[in-house]
């Protein structure tokens, strides 16, 4: 599964760099020159870039978990192979992004330990359950589709290693999206039971996909470091609108109903009614839609989502169970501190 | 033709034996995707799991063409007793990388030798198919053998863990050489000789174990000893089979 790299709450930033060097650095960015690891950069840029790449790397390896659960149940040899390869790709994206992060000054073991002790985060969308095979289809279609939209704008950023990694990742994500689209199409062309399974999964994942891009940016986002330094290049709301414009008509064409839903504490839908806000504004070309439940978003990001505990516990188990292998080959794994 | 015709065919039972080993090996290993001790090895292990699944598919496709069946039906729709995988493939690894590693290495070494023999069979394009597969199989053996040595000699702790895993698996490993039913009662029938293949396997495995500072004793079981090759699977196989076919059985006879 893909991880967007939108750390939701940028830290307060105090820029203490030499003004002349800072001006030169910002000029290079506005000239479209890529910043490389050996180049001078403000400490706050390094810290923010590390935070973003590490968050993205964490998202990739946590994102492998919900889909990984379904490899052993994939219903044909080709689906089984495709899903294994897809989850492997996500692990590979994690590996590439940890390499980018390592170059910014943090060891891989520190990053993996911070993830399993709750010190660092991963993308919110991976804290939701996948109760059916159709959830896997929806993740690959909607969430990977959203990730491609986001990551294409991140590939237009300024930090060279991250930009190059995004370009590589996006090529693979395009395959994931096509695979998801094929899975959704197959389900929606199938039996009544398969269509119903697809609709129920769509109800679960549509609001998560809307939240994927993060909450609205501050009004002055363009003047703040993440956009000023081209770590991100497009506002969250703008990306969300492009996503709805692309996926709302596609879902309707497939016979899916876009519902407004409520969910219980397990992330399962308790009510679904058609979104009355939904419609194409002919003059702007934009689709209107009902906003997702942003209170839920904040609840989940603070650790109270349906699967937060389960996801971190599995990563922690993996970290602990594999420590002897890393010790044996001299990668210096140490005992895991207690969970935060 | 029917599934029963295929199951009653002597050569098909040998092909099926290797295909089922590869299916279950890939199936069990794919469950580690995202959870291996090192990211780089996670990616490598997943590639090998995909190779195993792909190799199984190539063999199922051969059988499907020969017996006019659907390869997915051969892979997923048989009764558990009609699978010919050995019990070693399905021993649960309990999330222990040492067990996973030893199991994959023992089996991959065996599979490579089996494919060497099937590559010589002059029956349709079976020989060509197996010749292609064994090249990738040889890479698995080399990769896993290198890890056996690395972990056997890495530290006292890793040596002990690998030795414990071998102790757990050694007895079951011999049963890889259990002949499937139907005309394989004699050693000669087992695609160039069961005893000869066991000796070759034991020599290869023994050389790596020696370099890794590990010990294991393997014996060729009596012909009469029955296990997975003749459908007598351990209890965990039926659980794995039920999980593997859960979605498919929810809406049978439809595309997924």
Supply the angle between the helices A77-103 and A43-68 in degrees, to the nearest 10.
Answer: 160
B56 interaction partners in chain A (CB closer than 8 Å):
77
The tokens describing A322, both together, are: 């594999």
A328 interaction partners in chain B (CB closer than 8 Å):
150-151, 154-155, 157-158
Q: Report which of B109, B73, B92 is spatially closest to residue B1, judged by C-alpha positions.
A: B73
Total Cβ atoms within 10 A of residue B37: 24
CA distance A144 to A253: 19
Report if residue A334 sits inside a domain.
Answer: no
Q: Do the beta carbons of residue A4 and residue A56 sit within 8 Å?
A: yes
* Burial class for B146, CB neighbours closer than 10 Å (0-12, 13-18, 19+): middle
Report if residue A195 sits inside a domain.
Answer: yes
Which B residues in the span 27-66 are in contact with A, Cβ-Cβ below 8 Å?
A: 27, 30-31, 33-43, 46-47, 49-50, 53-54, 56-57, 60
Any B CB within 8 A of A72 CB: yes
pLDDT at B2: 85
B43 interaction partners in chain A (CB closer than 8 Å):
88, 91-92, 95
Q: How far is A121 from chain B (nearest CA, A)?
A: 17
Average pLDDT of adjacent 10-residue blocks, chain A of 340 residues: 47 72 94 95 95 97 95 97 97 97 96 96 96 97 96 95 96 95 98 97 98 95 93 96 98 98 95 97 97 95 93 96 94 50
DSSP state of A223: G
Domains in chain B: ranges and CATH: 3-250 (1.20.1260.10)
HSE-up (13 A, CA, CB side) for residue B21: 30
Q: Do the beta carbons of residue B100 and residue B36 sit within 8 Å?
A: no
Q: How far is A146 from chain B (nearest CA, A)?
A: 22
Residue B171: CB partners within 8 Å, gap ≥ 6? Answer: none
User: What is the average per-residue pLDDT within B20-29?
Assistant: 96
Report if residue A202 sits inside a domain.
Answer: yes
Residue A54: CB partners within 8 Å, gap ≥ 6? Answer: A97, A98, A101, A106, A111, A114, A120
Does the beta-carbon distance from A189 to B255 stay under 8 Å? yes
User: What is the average per-residue pLDDT within B46-60?
Assistant: 98
* ipTM of the modeled complex: 0.95
Q: What angle do CA B124, B128, B132 make, to 5 degrees?
A: 150
CB environment A310-339: b (16+ within 10 A), e (fewer): ebbebbbebbebbbbbbbbbeeebeeeeee
Strand blocks (E) in chain A: 259-263, 269-274, 279-280, 287-288
Residue of A nearest to B75 (CA): A77
The tokens describing B168, both together, are: 């757990």
- DSSP symbols for A242-293: HHHHHHHHHHHHHT---EEEEE-TTS-EEEEEE-TT-EE-TTT-PEE-PPP-
Beta bridge partners of A288: A279
Report if residue A3 sits inside a domain.
Answer: no
Q: What angle do CA B73, B75, B81 make, to 5 degrees?
A: 100
DSSP state of A37: T
Q: Do the beta carbons of residue B256 and residue B73 sit within 8 Å?
A: no
State how many domains chain A has.
Answer: 1
Residue B155: CB partners within 8 Å, gap ≥ 6? Answer: A324, A327, A328
Q: Which helix (H) or strand (E) holds A329?
A: none
Residue B77: CB partners within 8 Å, gap ≥ 6? Answer: B3, B245, B248
pLDDT at A259: 98
Residue A294: CB partners within 8 Å, gap ≥ 6? Answer: A211, A215
3-class SS shares of chain A: helix, strand, coil, % to 5: 60, 5, 35
B153-194 pLDDT tens trace: 999 999 999 999 999 999 999 999 998 865 555 545 555 578
User: What is the average per-residue pLDDT within B76-93?
Assistant: 95
- DSSP symbols for B178-202: PPPSSS-SSGGGTTS-HHHHHHHHH
Any B CB within 8 A of A43 CB: no
CA distance A288 to A306: 28
CATH number of the domain that A228 lies in? 1.20.1260.10
Q: What angle do CA A166, A170, A174 make, to 5 degrees?
A: 175
Report if residue A71 sits inside a domain.
Answer: yes
**Phi, then psi, of A43 in degrees rounded to 5:** -55, -35
CA distance B53 to B47: 10
The tokens describing B88, both together, are: 């070693």
Report if residue A8 sits inside a domain.
Answer: no
pLDDT at B53: 98
Host domain of residue A127 = 19-328
3-class SS shares of chain B: helix, strand, coil, % to 5: 70, 0, 30
Tell me, rounded to whole angstroms, the distance of Cα A304 from its chain centroid.
18
pLDDT at A5: 43
B28-48 pLDDT tens trace: 999 899 999 999 999 999 999
CA distance B112 to B119: 10
pLDDT at A14: 65
Does the beta-carbon distance from A71 to B38 stay under 8 Å? no
Q: Do the beta carbons of residue A50 and residue A76 sit within 8 Å?
A: no
CA distance A159 to B225: 63
Which B residues in the span 7-26 are in contact with A, Cβ-Cβ below 8 Å?
A: 26
Report if residue A339 sits inside a domain.
Answer: no
A88 interaction partners in chain B (CB closer than 8 Å):
33, 42-43, 46-47, 50
């Amino acid at each position: 599964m893909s991880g967007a790299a939108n750390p939701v709450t940028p830290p307060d930033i105090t820029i203490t760099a030499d003004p002349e060097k800072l001006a030169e650095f910002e000029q290079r960015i506005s000239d479209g020159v890529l910043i490389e690891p050996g180049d001078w950069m403000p400490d706050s840029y390094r810290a923010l870039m590390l935070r973003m790449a590490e968050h993205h790397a964490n998202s990739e390896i946590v994102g492998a978990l919900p889909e990984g659960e379904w490899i052993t149940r994939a219903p044909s040899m080709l689906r089984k192979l495709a899903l294994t390869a897809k989850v492997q790709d996500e692990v590979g994206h994690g590996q590439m992004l940890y390499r980018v992060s390592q170059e910014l000054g943090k060891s891989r073991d520190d990053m993996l330990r911070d993830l399993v002790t709750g010190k660092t985060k991963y993308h919110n969308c991976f804290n939701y359950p996948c109760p059916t095979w159709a959830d896997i289809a929806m993740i690959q279609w909607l969430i990977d589709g959203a990730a491609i939209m986001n990551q294409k704008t991140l590939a237009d950023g300024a930090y060279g290693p991250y930009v190059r990694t995004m370009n590589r990742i996006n090529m693979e994500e395009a395959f994931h999206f096509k695979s998801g689209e094929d899975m959704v199409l197959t389900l929606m062309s199938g039996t009544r039971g398969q269509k119903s399974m697809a609709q129920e999964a769509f109800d679960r994942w549509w609001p998560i996909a809307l939240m994927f891009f993060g909450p609205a940016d501050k009004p002055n986002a363009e003047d703040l470091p993440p956009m000023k330094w081209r770590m991100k290049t497009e506002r969250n709301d703008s990306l969300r609108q492009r996503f709805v414009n692309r996926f709302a008509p596609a879902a309707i064409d497939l016979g899916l109903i876009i519902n407004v839903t409520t969910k219980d504490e397990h992330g399962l839908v308790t009510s679904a009614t058609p979104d009355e806000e939904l419609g194409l504004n002919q003059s702007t070309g934009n689709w209107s839609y009902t906003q997702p439940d942003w209170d839920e978003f904040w609840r989940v990001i603070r650790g109270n989502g349906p699967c937060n505990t389960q996801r971190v516990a599995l990563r922690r188990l993996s970290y602990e169970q594999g420590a002897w292998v890393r010790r044996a080959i001299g990668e210096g794994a140490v005992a895991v501190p207690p969970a935060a | 033709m029917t599934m029963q015709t295929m199951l009653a065919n002597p050569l098909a039972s040998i092909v099926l034996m290797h295909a089922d080993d590869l299916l279950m090996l890939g199936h069990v290993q794919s469950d580690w995707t995202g959870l291996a001790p090192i990211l780089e090895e996670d990616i490598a292990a997943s590639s090998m799991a995909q190779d195993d699944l792909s190799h199984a598919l190539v063999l199922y496709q051969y059988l499907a063409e020969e017996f006019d069946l659907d390869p997915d039906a051969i892979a997923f729709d048989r009764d558990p007793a009609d699978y010919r995988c050995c019990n070693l493939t399905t021993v649960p690894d309990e999330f222990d990388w040492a067990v996973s590693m030893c199991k994959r290495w023992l089996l991959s070494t065996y599979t490579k030798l089996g494919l060497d023999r099937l590559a010589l069979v002059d029956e349709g394009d079976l020989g060509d198919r197996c010749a292609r597969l064994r090249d990738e199989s040889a890479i698995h053996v080399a990769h896993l053998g290198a890890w056996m040595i690395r972990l056997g000699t890495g530290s006292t702790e890793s040596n002990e863990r690998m030795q414990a895993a071998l102790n757990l698996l050694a007895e079951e490993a011999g049963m890889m050489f259990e002949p499937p039913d139907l005309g394989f009662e004699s050693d000669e029938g087992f695609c160039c000789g069961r005893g000869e293949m066991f000796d070759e396997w034991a020599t290869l495995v023994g050389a790596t174990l020696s370099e890794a500072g590990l010990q294991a004793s393997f014996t060729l079981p009596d012909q009469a000893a029955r296990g997975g090759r003749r459908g007598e699977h351990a209890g965990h196989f039926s659980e794995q089979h039920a999980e593997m076919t859960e979605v498919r059985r929810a809406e049978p006879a439809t595309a997924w």
